[in-house]
């Protein structure tokens, strides 16, 4: 079995440096850490997890709370990529991840009880009803928590810059010549509120007034509901020239409804999504959308949670905002000459 001493000799560094690299300590250069980890892997080093747990009083296990009521689960491109980035970063720091549900061998447990049962060092929370009593119990507990796309006072949050993203998307549509712009937004969450604020604020800045009938609601990632609401917008006496959807998956429902009516995108009606999932870029025409930086969101969430676990007294409790980028695609027609 390969020892840390052998790795240190191979890398020409101290045993202490090897220990720091293998245990995810921050007081070692990134170049040295990567070199040690690469060498350890090549030499077949396997850490003694039991010894490490006894020494540090940590399980090196992070809980992931992910509850998707739309039933798209981890096949949903956006959260799948966020959590993949989170997992990759956690593993680089020496942590495993465990998905927390509410059952152990058929026994119903609260999320907090499940986390205690699993002995996780911390939890990342994404895609849940953040106001549910069980979620609130966990957030108020002693377990370190980082939330994704939701902000609580006294907790670290990693959020997309939803307001700015919506501003960039609406401004692009405006510059394409559209003034009758409709928005199908998601259900009432902090993400929705930020996007709605950005939507209305941008229209106000641009001097565009739209009727209330242009703003409708449907659940996130619900193609059937999006199709129904799209039909309602198209049936208006003065329908919009462009429809924004709460996410790219919902936009697919809108596309189906538009095509069933014999209309063409973007010649007869323009559309835009949000998230930048893979399928948006292979649709025909390519979907105009705001791409969220899923790699950065997942990486920052993992880094901040592990910092909070390992250095609770010095880690800054703050909101970390991640900008997205506009993908122009080809689903928004240019109306101006």
pLDDT digits (tens, 9 = 90+) for 55-72: 557 789 999 988 765 544
Task: Judge whether 247 and 220 are in contact, CB under 8 Å.
Answer: yes
Give 288's DSSP letter: B
Q: Is the pLDDT of residue 105 over 70?
A: no
**CA dist., res. 132 & res. 137, Å (int):** 9
Number of helical (H) and strand (E) elements in the chain, helices listed first: 12, 14
pTM of the model: 0.80
Omega into 266 within 30° of 0, i.e. cis? yes
**Residue 238's pLDDT band (cuts 50, 70, 90):** very high
**CA dist., res. 276 & res. 290, Å (int):** 6
Give the pairing of strands 107-108 and 103-104: antiparallel
**CA dist., res. 292 & res. 324, Å (int):** 4
Between residues 239 and 46, the one the model is more confident about = 239
pLDDT value, residue 154: 86
Domains and CATH numbers, the chain: 4-47 (1.10.260.40), 61-160+295-324 (3.40.50.2300), 162-292 (3.40.50.2300)
Radius of gyration, alpha carbons of the chain: 24
pLDDT value, residue 55: 54
pLDDT value, residue 239: 98
Write out pLDDT tens, residues 118-157.
889 999 998 777 888 888 999 999 999 999 988 888 899 9
For range 69-95, the mean pLDDT? 80
Residue (of 79, 69, 135, 126) closest to 102 by Cα position: 135
**CA dist., res. 223 & res. 186, Å (int):** 12
pLDDT value, residue 247: 95
pLDDT value, residue 106: 56
């Amino acid at each position: 079995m390969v020892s840390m001493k052998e790795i240190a000799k191979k890398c020409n560094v101290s045993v202490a440096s090897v220990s720091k690299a293998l245990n995810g300590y921050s007081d070692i250069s990134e170049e040295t850490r990567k070199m040690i980890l690469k060498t350890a892997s090549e030499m077949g080093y396997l850490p003694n997890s039991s010894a490490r747990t006894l020494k540090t009083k940590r399980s090196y296990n992070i809980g992931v709370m992910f509850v998707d009521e739309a039933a798209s689960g981890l096949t949903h491109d956006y959260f799948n990529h966020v959590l993949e980035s989170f997992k990759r970063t956690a593993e680089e720091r020496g942590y495993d991840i465990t998905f927390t549900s509410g059952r152990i061998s058929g026994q119903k447990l609260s999320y907090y009880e499940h986390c205690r049962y699993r002995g996780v060092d911390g939890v990342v929370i994404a895609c849940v009803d953040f106001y549910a009593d069980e979620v609130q119990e966990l957030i108020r507990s002693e377990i370190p928590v980082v939330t994704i796309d939701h902000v609580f006072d006294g907790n670290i949050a990693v959020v997309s810059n939803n307001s700015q993203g919506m501003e960039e998307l609406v401004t692009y549509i405006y510059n394409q010549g559209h003034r009758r712009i409709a928005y199908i937004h998601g259900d009432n969450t902090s993400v929705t509120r930020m996007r709605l604020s950005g939507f209305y604020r941008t229209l106000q800045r641009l001097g565009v007034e739209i009727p209330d009938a242009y703003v409708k609601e449907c659940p996130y990632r619900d193609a059937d509901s999006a199709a129904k609401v799209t039909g309602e917008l198209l049936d208006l006496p003065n329908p919009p020239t462009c429809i924004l959807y709460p996410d790219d998956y919902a936009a697919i429902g809108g596309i189906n409804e538009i095509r069933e009516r014999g209309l063409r995108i973007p010649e007869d009606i323009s559309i835009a999504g949000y998230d930048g999932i893979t399928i948006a870029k292979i649709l025909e025409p390519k979907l105009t959308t705001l791409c969220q930086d899923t790699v950065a969101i997942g990486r920052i969430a993992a880094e901040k949670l592990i910092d909070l676990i390992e250095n609770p007294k010095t880690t800054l409790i703050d909101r970390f905002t991640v900008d997205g980028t506009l993908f122009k695609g080809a689903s928004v027609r240019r109306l101006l000459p």
